[in-house]
Amino acid sequence: MTRKNEAIEILNGKYNKLKRQTVDSILNNQNFYNPSVIDTLPRELFSQDKLDDATYWFCVAKLRARFVAYCCIDNSAKQAVSVLTDNMDQTLINMHFKKLINLKNSYQSV
């Protein structure tokens, strides 16, 4: 839980060097982080102008969130998937759907 909270706090913070280090850590250890951290990652990649990577990780975040939600007995967990998309930066969502070729490639690689 501490790793998750710390990663989200850093990615939502203002220290760019620390953000880059955290992004590298998440990318190199992605299985250590839960969907809420992976959900925060695309926003930071987008802010670094890494649009294809942001699109890819947006897809990964949604897929992982759906997987976790469907494994839960509590039906409210399924509602969290739409919250992830609702909280996503609208610019990233628009870019995500405008680049349908990249979208197709992102889903195939996920």
Nearest partner of 60 among 80, 86, 87, 31, judged by Cα: 31
Segments in the chain below pLDDT 50: none
The predicted structure's pLDDT at residue 104: 61
CB contact set of 57 (below 8 Å; sequence gap of 6+)? 38, 41, 42, 45
| Span 66-88, pLDDT tens digits | 887 788 777 777 777 776 666 66
